């Protein structure tokens, strides 16, 4: 089979086939990467400014909102951290005093700015609530009794409103946002409650369901504010970068001078391969018949399995057996486990949850082939990465039916269908 490439400019392509329209387009994706030096509010803003946002407009928003809670001065400049050019957001605040979470929210509700949208405010409120809930849990109280001490109200407002404004101004709220594992730092820090180990209790609470790791220095690399912004921006957490093209990269500098670049990296690009989460179910079978194994395929597919495979293996006591493996949506695992147990008699099913998988786009285009003056329709499944067709495969059931009706070998019918498809759409 020959390689088929579509013209990559423009990115959006329409394929017309038997009145079927197929829209093929890239999805803009954002990756927030705090693996190097953690994440803080000013680092987020710096990275977003580095992606092309006007720094003066960000400064105005930060100073305007923070001024209701204290004296504030914000400066944004380009600096280098261990040779990496980054944008540094320097926030100098003096708070008017400790403030309750509920009072802070009431004040923010009344503050208006022509450049700040309702979505920006809603996002900011979610971040503050994340902070308040973490503090409440750590101190064994409720959010209506939480005061902002460690965070600092003016500083937090500047960082959170600045991050929200920048995030929405770059329209990243409309894009898929991935978050990488978070570097926490190490050592101990001084707090209102005395010396505490890093990460701060609120930071750890906010990131309790997020992949994190300590070190590699005795500094607080991730702050509670940075963590709260992070978890509210991210749609999906992942250990590895998704497949991206046409990347734009921004770096936000932290305040420390470290033996390595103290920067947060945020990038956006075109994601040409969709991804999702699936679960894998497995069980060993060593006392079932071939008829039962053949039967279980259809049963499991009827109950929502995405794929079913059987792998010959050697089980306990050196007996030959089979490994039954199912790919399924996480929401279908319980019912499929019950079906496996009922149908096979196995006493246990292993569930490997939330496996990340990349998926090529799949489209079906029907074509007409003619054999002995008789026409037959065969569906062609095309696999795509972005705007490039990477595979052309006729549907097996359609090909089998034509082969049985005409007496022509299945492989010949398959090749005929592919030739018809390529000849009908020579520009693909």
Residue 26 in this model has a pLDDT that exceeds 80: no
Strand partners, 150: none
Strand partners, 27: 271
Residue 2 in this model has a pLDDT that exceeds 80: no
Where a domain ends, among 358, 382, 416?
Answer: 358
Please tell me which residue, 11 or 371, carries the higher pLDDT value: 371
Structural domain that includes position 51: 34-236+247-264
Looking at the fold, whether 123 and 220 belong to one and the same domain comes out as: yes
Residue 51 in this model has a pLDDT that exceeds 80: yes
* Cβ–Cβ < 8 Å for 306, 327: yes
Torsion of CA 393, 394, 396, 399, to 10 degrees: -150
User: Is residue 18 included in any domain, yes or no?
Assistant: no
Contacts for 188-192 with beta carbons within 8 Å, 24 or more apart?
A: 188/218, 189/220, 191/150, 192/149, 192/150
Q: 225-261 burial by CB neighbour count: b if 16+ within 10 A, else e?
A: bbbbbbbbbbeebbeeebbbeeeeebbbbbeeebeeb
Please tell me which residue, 347 or 36, carries the higher pLDDT value: 36
- Per residue in 236-292, pLDDT (tens digit) is 899 989 888 889 999 999 999 999 999 999 999 987 666 667 889 999 998 888 888
CA distance 122 to 252: 24
Looking at the fold, whether 121 and 197 belong to one and the same domain comes out as: yes
* Cβ–Cβ < 8 Å for 66, 157: yes
User: Is residue 22 included in any domain, yes or no?
Assistant: no
Mean pLDDT of the region 126-130: 95
Mean pLDDT of the region 186-200: 81
Looking at the fold, whether 146 and 212 belong to one and the same domain comes out as: yes
The least confident of 50-59, 126-135, 324-333 is 324-333
Looking at the fold, whether 186 and 66 belong to one and the same domain comes out as: yes
**Which 3 state secondary structure label does DSSP give 2?**
coil
Q: Which helix (H) or strand (E) holds 228?
A: helix 224-233
Name the phi and psi angles at 426, rounded to 5: -65, -20
Residue 111: name the closest of 48, 173, 154 by CA. 154
Where a domain ends, among 337, 358, 379?
Answer: 358
Q: With the C-alpha atoms ordered 150, 154, 160, 163, is the resulting torsion angle positive or negative? A: negative
Q: How many domains does the chain have?
A: 3
CATH number where 401 lies: 3.10.20.300
* pLDDT score at 147: 78
What beta strand segments (E) does 144-243 contain? 147-148, 176-179, 182-183, 188-191, 194-197, 212-213, 236-237
Looking at the fold, whether 212 and 197 belong to one and the same domain comes out as: yes
- Per residue in 196-249, pLDDT (tens digit) is 888 999 999 999 989 999 988 999 999 999 999 999 999 889 998 988 888 999
Looking at the fold, whether 288 and 167 belong to one and the same domain comes out as: no
User: Is residue 20 included in any domain, yes or no?
Assistant: no
Mean pLDDT of the region 27-36: 92
Looking at the fold, whether 116 and 161 belong to one and the same domain comes out as: yes
Residue 18 in this model has a pLDDT that exceeds 50: no
Residue 408 in this model has a pLDDT that exceeds 50: yes
Looking at the fold, whether 191 and 74 belong to one and the same domain comes out as: yes
Please tell me which residue, 391 or 39, carries the higher pLDDT value: 39
Average pLDDT, the chain: 86
* pLDDT score at 194: 67
User: Is residue 29 included in any domain, yes or no?
Assistant: no
Where a domain ends, among 307, 326, 358?
Answer: 358
**Which 3 state secondary structure label does DSSP give 180?**
coil
Among the ranges 75-84, 185-194, 393-402, which has the highest mean pLDDT value? 75-84
């Amino acid at each position: 089979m020959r390689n088929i490439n579509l013209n990559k400019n423009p990115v959006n392509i329409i394929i017309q086939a038997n009145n079927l329209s197929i829209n093929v387009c890239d999805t803009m994706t954002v990756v927030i990467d705090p693996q190097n030096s953690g994440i803080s509010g000013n680092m987020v803003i710096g990275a977003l400014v580095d992606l092309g946002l006007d720094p003066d407009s960000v400064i105005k928003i930060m100073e305007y909102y923070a001024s209701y809670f204290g004296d504030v001065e914000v400066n944004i400049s380009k600096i280098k951290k261990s040779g990496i050019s980054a944008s540094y957001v320097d926030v100098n605040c003096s708070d008017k005093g400790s403030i309750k979470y509920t009072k802070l929210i009431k004040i923010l509700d009344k503050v208006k700015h022509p450049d700040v949208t309702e979505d920006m405010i809603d996002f900011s409120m979610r971040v503050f609530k994340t902070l308040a809930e973490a503090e409440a849990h750590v101190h064994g109280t409720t959010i209506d009794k939480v005061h902002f001490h460690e965070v600092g109200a003016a500083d937090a407002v500047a960082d959170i409103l600045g991050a929200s404004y920048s995030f929405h101004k770059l329209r990243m709220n409309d894009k898929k946002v991935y978050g990488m594992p978070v570097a926490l730092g190490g050592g101990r820090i001084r707090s209102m409650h005395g010396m505490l180990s890093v990460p701060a209790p609120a930071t750890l609470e906010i990131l309790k369901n997020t992949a994190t790791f300590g070190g590699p220095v005795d500094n607080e690399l991730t702050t509670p504010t940075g963590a709260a912004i992070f978890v509210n921006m991210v749609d999906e957490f992942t250990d590895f970068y998704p497949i991206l093209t046409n990347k734009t990269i921004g770096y936000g500098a932290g305040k420390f001078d470290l033996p390595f670049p103290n920067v947060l990296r945020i990038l956006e690009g075109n994601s040409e391969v969709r991804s999702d989460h699936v679960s894998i179910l497995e069980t060993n079978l060593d006392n079932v018949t071939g008829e039962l194994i053949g039967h279980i395929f259809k049963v499991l597919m009827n109950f929502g399995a995405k794929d079913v495979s059987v792998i010959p293996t050697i089980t306990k006591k050196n007996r030959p057996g089979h490994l039954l493996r199912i790919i399924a949506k996480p929401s279908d695992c319980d019912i499929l486990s019950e079906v496996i147990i009922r149908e096979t008699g196995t006493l246990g099913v292993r569930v490997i949850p939330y496996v990340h998988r990349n998926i090529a786009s799949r489209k079906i285009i029907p074509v007409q082939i003619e054999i002995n003056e008789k026409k037959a329709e065969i569906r062609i499944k095309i696999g795509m990465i972005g705007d490039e067709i990477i595979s052309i495969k006729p549907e097996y059931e359609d090909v089998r039916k034509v082969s049985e009706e005409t007496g022509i070998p299945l492989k010949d019918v398959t090749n005929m269908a592919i030739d018809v498809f390529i000849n009908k759409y020579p520009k693909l």
